[in-house]
Structure 1
Amino acid sequence: KVPPAAPAAAAATPRRVVVQASTSELLRCLGEFLCRRCYRLKHLSPTDPVLWLRSVDRSLLLQGWQDQGFITPANLVFVYLLCREALRGEDIGSQAELQASFLTCLYLAYSYMGNEISYPLKPFLVESCKEAFWDRCLSIIDLMSPKMLQVNADPHYFTQVFADLKKESGSEEKGRLLIGLDR
């Protein structure tokens, strides 16, 4: 006996995609992404951006600017979205430049996604020129405003960016490299 065909409405229903990752896995993916993106920085470790992020988060917690940590999978997806679009490896010539640019993206992520109305500038500022920081902020906002809204309003877009971040892990590349070295 042939089973009945699925109704046409059910066939048109979009497929539900589930992407899961721990906070530590996404932090690793973000660090690896930044190392690949900023290929000119030979001494950059994937843990460096993670340490910068954790340092800001800890500072804001200790100073009482936030009641709970900012570092969650959803917030890391937002940070990744900003970094992916705003940070160009060919434009970043030093680790200090990367840190300043990364912390600018982080400041915008806190401002947009964080639980507080405002955040102090000091934990995000690693250069003496505040004007350069604000210029970067405005540039990123001009570039990213539609996508910043979309990632919060469109679950499919959020899921795609989440999956993109998760794919930034170089573990499968490392596996192939290790196999090649064993021969």
Structure 2
Amino acid sequence: MMFPVQSTIKMDPEVGLRYRNFLKENPQDVAFINPANVVFVYMLVRELVEEDIDCEQNLQAVVLTCLYLSYSYMGNEISYPLKPFLVEDSKEKFWDRCLDIVNRLSTNMLRINAEPGYFTEIFTELKSCGIANSVSNSMATMSCQTVPVVPCHAGSTTAA
């Protein structure tokens, strides 16, 4: 089964509801959704979503962790509630994933804010994915590719 990355959150009503509730509780975060922040989220997701992600839940976990880190790094608040960003029951897995992302991508996280040319490069790539999506009338994904995943079994992280 193939799932486009952009529709990951749409596929799971629970995740969508948690995100909507998060926005209702934090209306100032609607302002977070601007071009600079979307490019930042895209930069993280494109580096982290790999073709070997074995199930939808793992894909959601990566995408929501990237979103959490983006809010934390680029947002206006000192901290954000963790619950809307959790997919699995283990907060430890979430924090391990956060640390892994920061360790792997902190250079890029700093670079996107320091170098206008790097920001433009990422923005142009993201824009081309969106154009490819509208021209071909199919779902484009991060890095303009489709990631094959299958639904996870309860508590399992292996492919079905």
TM superposition score category, shorter chain reference:
0.7 to 0.9
Question: Post-superposition shift, 1:68?
Answer: 3.8
* Structure with more contact order per residue of length (Cα contacts < 8 Å, sep ≥ 6): 2
Aligned to 1:13: none
TM-score relative to the length of structure 1: 0.64
Aligned residues: percent identity? 48
Distance, in Å, in 2 between the alignment partners of 1:136 and 1:95 is 16
TM-score (norm 2): 0.72
SS in 2 for 1:116: coil
What count of residue pairs does the alignment treat as equivalent? 132
Aligned equivalent of 2:64: 103
2:106 aligns to what?
A: 145
Quote the residue 1:121 is aligned against.
82
2:45 equivalent among 55, 70, 83: 83
Point out where structure 2 has 5 or more consecutive residues left out of the alignment. Answer: 138-160
Larger Rg: 1
RMSD: 2.4
Task: Find the counterpart in structure 1 of residue 8 from structure 2.
Answer: 49
Shift in CA distance, 150/86, structure 1 to aligned 2, threshold 3 Å: same
**Counterpart check, 1:93 vs 2:23:** no
Give the alignment of 1:1-183 within 5 angstroms.
41-42=1-2, 44-45=3-4, 48-49=7-8, 51=10, 58-64=20-26, 66-69=27-30, 70-90=32-52, 92-169=53-130, 170-171=132-133, 174=136
Structure 1: runs of 5+ lacking an equivalent: 1-40, 176-183
